[in-house]
Amino acid sequence: MDRRIYGVETEFGVHYSHPGARPLTPEEVARYLFRPVVEWGRSSNVFVSNGSRLYLDVGSHPEYATAECSTLDELVAVDKAGEVMMQQLIDQATERMAADGFTGTIYLYKNNADSAGNSYGSHENYLLNRRTEFRRLSEALIPFLITRQLYAGAGKVVAPRTGDTDPGTLDRDRPDGAHFAFSQRADHVMEGISSATTRSRPIINTRDEPHADAAEYRRLHVIVGDSNMSETTQLVRFGATDLMLRMIEAGTPLGDHQLENPILAIRQVSHDLTGTAELSLRSGQRRSALQLQRHYLEQATAFVERHGAHHDRLDAVLDLWERALDAVERQDPAGIDTEIDWAIKQRFLTRYADRHGLDWDSARLAQLDLSYHDITPGRGLFTLLQSRGAAARFLDDDAVRQAVDTPPATTRAALRGRFIQAARESGQPYAVDWTHLKLSDRPLLTVTTKDPFQTSSERLDELLRSIPSPDHAPAEGHRDGDASSIHPV
Amino acid sequence: MSQQYSGSRSEREEDVPAPEPAPAGGSAQAGTTDLDSLLDEIDSVLETNAEEFVKGFVQKGGQ
């Protein structure tokens, strides 16, 4: 597919800290966080005006699913806009909690693990052509997904193994002592491919909800990724994965690199910053993460030479992909330590550890690891690094701010955003999901949007014309400031 | 231009053009001083009892 629909779903970790006072559970804090959402949409599962979805997920994780995007710029901007929305919820919850006597601090982390070994995800969605055989696609893609942590990993301070735990076969190559690893998520992945998400945590989830014409499309649901803070890391993560899918869809032979034990391999890669740990393939051969990624990069570069660039960020994707592999190979992250999450984090934490004489088992470094993912501007480590130029970006604050209220213009999210705005302005009760736009009192006029690339709709125009102008709108269901109540004034 | 800087942030910010938007793949290498000043300041935004803080962050599992 030349143009592809992308989306990413992010679960945030909730942390309330108030030393010396009664702790609040994440559930209690999540309820405070989502109170404005419930007031806005009468549900803790809503679509917001940029076309994205905001909800409370399994385990009370606030979750944000981006609207359908068809460019990498849109995808990263809409994803970062989710952090802005979450911050607005933090601000409002902090006020309400203080009024109830809870004067501690709320932290939301865009990361993938807590200190007790629970994990939550960053799920990527890629729209695929139905003609591509899914089994063949998964086989070709999984070795890529297992090794892309060399540039897509968010970095993790790993605690030392405790004395009473059995290393187990999956962790046999993991160092016993505290150390720095590429990935947040790798240690929590339990299966290669499966229909489950919470129970066994596969790399690819087979749930096939295309939210589109199922005869034409299917959805690839990748749940192995780390949540990224860095815009440039996201660019190469999504951009390289899209290139892999293009090659597979085009039938480009990529070789058979199926891994003997994908779940062992993903841990081997994460805990080996040299990228040279040898992974066993089913064919009996052995390959390192660096070798596999070099191979995919070469194939992708040749593919782009043959077929041309299909978007204007392609050079940047290939360039950063290559420089990241160079950096790992040379064991010198200096060339990527403003652009790749794990390297940005490692650079700062190493400097901090040197200055204070700390080892990786220091609680302060574990705290800084969390702080890197703290989304609050001016407090979270990544936000501080970015504001001082120690983390590069390819968007700017305006682009992110705009993406908070404005849906992507190139997909049906534009229709959804327009509909939500019109319905709310007029105070009409409405319901939306990924493929339907409905005014509750005109069910027969419901607009179905099966084509995710659709950006105009006569049926929607007709439906919107049927709405009385706001001046004459019935008062029922409409409150002052309704439409902006999840944005603090 | 002064090569002896005091680590003052505002001074650096005047000297150096705004870091964004950095071109993807470009080098937005932060000056060592910016990182140094952040290393100085970061403790002021972190809660003091690191161990208790980290242990206090426990979730239910998600997906």
Predicted pLDDT of residue A166: 58
Q: Which of B9, B42, B49 sits opposite A381 (nearest CB)?
A: B42
Predicted pLDDT of residue A161: 83
Predicted pLDDT of residue A355: 97
Determine which one of A57, A73, A272, A341 is catalytic: A57
Chain A residues near residue B19 by CB distance under 8 angstroms: 386-389, 392-393
Per-residue pLDDT 10s for chain A (489 aa) are: 678 999 999 999 999 999 999 889 999 999 999 999 999 998 999 999 999 999 997 668 999 999 999 999 999 999 999 999 999 999 999 999 999 999 999 999 999 999 998 999 899 999 998 888 988 999 999 999 999 999 999 999 999 887 655 556 777 778 889 999 999 999 988 877 777 666 667 888 888 888 998 989 999 999 999 999 999 999 999 999 999 999 999 999 999 999 999 999 999 999 999 999 999 999 999 999 999 999 999 999 999 999 999 999 999 999 999 999 999 999 999 999 999 999 999 999 999 999 999 999 999 999 999 999 999 999 999 999 999 999 999 999 999 999 999 999 999 999 999 999 999 999 999 999 999 999 999 999 999 999 999 999 999 999 999 988 765 444 444 343 333 334 332
A91 among known catalytic residues? no
Chain A residues near residue B63 by CB distance under 8 angstroms: 11, 57-58, 120-121, 123, 197-198, 201, 223
Contact B46 A313 (CB under 8 A): no
Nearest CA in chain B to A200: B63
Reduce the secondary structure of chain A to three states and give it as a string.
CCCCCEEEEEECEEEEECCCCCCCCHHHHHHHHHHHHHHHHCCCEEECCCCCEEEEEHHHEEEEECCCECCHHHHHHHHHHHHHHHHHHHHHHHHHHHHCCCCCEEEEECCCECCCCCECCEEEEEEEECCCCHHHHHHHHHHHHHHCHHHHCCCEEECCCCCCCCCCCCCCCCCCCCEEECCCCHHHCCEEEECCCCCCCEEEECCCCCCCCCCCEEEEEEEEECCCCCHHHHHHHHHHHHHHHHHHHCCCCCCCCCECCHHHHHHHHHCCCCCCCEEEECCCCEEEHHHHHHHHHHHHHHHHHHHCCCCCCHHHHHHHHHHHHHHHHHCCHHHCCCCCHHHHHHHHHHHHHHHHCCCCCCHHHHHHHHHHCECCCCCCHHHHHHHCCCCCCCCCHHHHHHHHHCCCCCCCHHHHHHHHHHHHHHCCCEEECCCEEEECCCHHHCEECCCCCCCCCHHHHHHHHCCCCHHHCCCCCCCCCHHHCCCCC
Predicted pLDDT of residue A23: 87
Chain A residues near residue B24 by CB distance under 8 angstroms: 231-232, 235, 313, 316, 319-320, 339, 392, 394
CB proximity B35 to A under 8 Å: yes
Q: Which of B27, B28, B58 sits opposite A116 (nearest CB)?
A: B58
pLDDT (tens digit per residue) in B1-59: 333 333 333 333 334 344 444 444 334 455 666 888 999 999 999 999 999 999 999 98
Predicted pLDDT of residue A202: 80
Q: Which of A14, A57, A392 sits opposite B63 (nearest CB)?
A: A57
Predicted pLDDT of residue A481: 36
Predicted pLDDT of residue A489: 23
Contact A123 B46 (CB under 8 A): no
Prediction ipTM score: 0.91
Predicted pLDDT of residue A482: 39
Predicted pLDDT of residue A163: 62
Predicted pLDDT of residue B4: 35
CB proximity B42 to A under 8 Å: yes
Chain A residues near residue B50 by CB distance under 8 angstroms: 362-364, 366-367
Predicted pLDDT of residue B17: 41
Predicted pLDDT of residue A59: 66
